[in-house]
Amino acid sequence: MDLDLKGKRALVCGSSQGMGLAIAQELSQMGASVTLFARSEDSLKLALAKLGPGNHDYLVADFDNLEDVKKEVRKGLSNGVYHILINNTGGPAPGPLANADLDEFDLAIGRHLHVSHTLVQLLLPGMKEANYGRVVNIISTSVKVPIPGLGVSNTVRGAMASWAKTLANELGQFGITVNNILPGFINTSRIESLVAGKSKSQGKSKEEVESDMKKTIPAGRFGEPEEIAAYAGLLCSKSGAYISGTSLRIDGGRTGSI
C-alpha cells in the first residue's frame, strides 16, 4: 500500500487529546505536515511535542465561535494548501431526545455541521488545485443505530453523515474523497463522561457500568484511539483514493446492523 503522505498538509480538529491527537500522530508518522486545531493552547503545545518529525504547528479557536475558526484557518492557509481535513469535535451532552431544548440542537449543529462545512469551503480551493483532497469526519455508530440516551447527538450525527455523502458525490470529480469514521466505545474522555453519567443515573459503580458496556461488544473491550487513527491514515492516503461516501464502523462488532 502507498501510505506515504510526504508533501501533504493536514488540518486535524479536536487534536489536543483523544482520537484527534492519535490521528494527528498517525498522519505525522506517515510524513504529513500536521496543524493541530483545538481551543486550549496549553494542551496544543503539549500535543505538538508528541507528533513525529516534520514541520507541524497549531491553531487555537473555540468551535462555538465560527468567526474565530475562520480567522485561524485563514492564518493556516497563508502557509499553503491543506490536502487533508479531519473533522472532529466533542459530542453533545447526553439525555433523552424528548427533553432536549432547541438551544441544545443549535449548539450541536453549530459546533459540528456549521464548523465542518465552513472548513471544507475554506480548504476546497486548494484541494481542487492540488487534485488531492481527503475529508474524514469522526462521527458515531449512532449513524447506523441510534444510541439510547444520546438524543441530540444521534440527530446531529445523522445530519453530518448525510452532509458528507452529498459532498462525496459532488467532489469526487476533483480527486477529493469524503468519508466518515464511526467509532464505537473508545478509551477517551468522552467514554469516561458517559460512564460517569450512567453510574450516577443507574446507581451503579463505574466498574459495573464499564463491565455492562463491554458485555455489549463482541470484542469484549473498549477500542483504543490508535485503532481509529490507523483507519484514518488509510483513508487519507493514496491507497484510499477509491473509498468515498462511506461510513466505516470501528466498534468491535457492537453495532446491531449489517
| Residues 131, 193 within the same domain | no
Place of cell 449513524: 143
Q: Is the domain of 128 the same as that of 60? A: yes
Q: Which residues pair with 36 in a beta bridge?
A: 12, 58
Residue 198 placed within a domain = yes
For residue 189, the model assigns a pLDDT of 86
The three cell numbers of residue 33 are 505536515
The Cα–Cα gap between 119 and 139 comes to 16
188-218 tens-digit pLDDT: 988 888 888 888 889 999 999 999 999 999 9
Q: What is the CATH number of the domain that holds 155?
A: 3.40.50.720
Residue 36 scores a pLDDT above 90? yes
Residue 116 lies in a domain: yes
Residues 26 and 91 grouped into a single domain? yes
Strands 247-250 and 176-183, sheet pairing: parallel
Which of the two residues, 3 and 198, has the higher pLDDT score? Answer: 3
CB atoms inside a 10 Å sphere around CB 150 = 21
Rounded distance between C-alpha atoms, residue 121 and residue 255, angstroms: 32
Same domain as 170, residue 79: yes
Same domain, 198 and 152: no
Domain extent at residue 196: 188-222
Q: Residue 114 pLDDT > 90, yes or no? A: yes
Check whether residue 99 and residue 215 sit in a common domain: no
3-state secondary structure of 181: strand
Could you tell me the pTM of the whole model?
0.96
Query: In this predicted structure, what is the pLDDT of residue 60?
Result: 98
Are 200 and 128 found together in one domain? no
Question: How is residue 221 annotated by DSSP?
Answer: S
Residues 148 and 110 in one domain: yes
Task: Give strand pairing partners of 135.
Answer: 85, 178
**Cα Rg for the chain, rounded, in angstroms?**
18
Q: How confident is the model at residue 94 (pLDDT cuts 50, 70, 90)?
A: confident
Q: Tell me, what DSSP letter sits at residue 93?
A: P
State whether 104 and 212 are in the same domain.
no
Does residue 3 fall inside a structural domain?
A: no
pLDDT at 196: 87
Same domain assignment for residues 92 and 216: no
Q: Are residues 69 and 194 in the same domain?
A: no
Domain count, the chain: 2
- Is residue 2 in some structural domain? no
Query: In this predicted model, what pLDDT tens digit does every residue of 130-151 receive, in sequence order?
Result: 999 999 999 999 999 999 989 9
Three-state secondary-structure class, residue 134: strand
- For residue 116, pLDDT beyond 90: yes
With cell 456549521, the residue in question is: 114
pLDDT reading at 9 higher than 90: yes
Q: Does residue 126 lie in a domain region?
A: yes
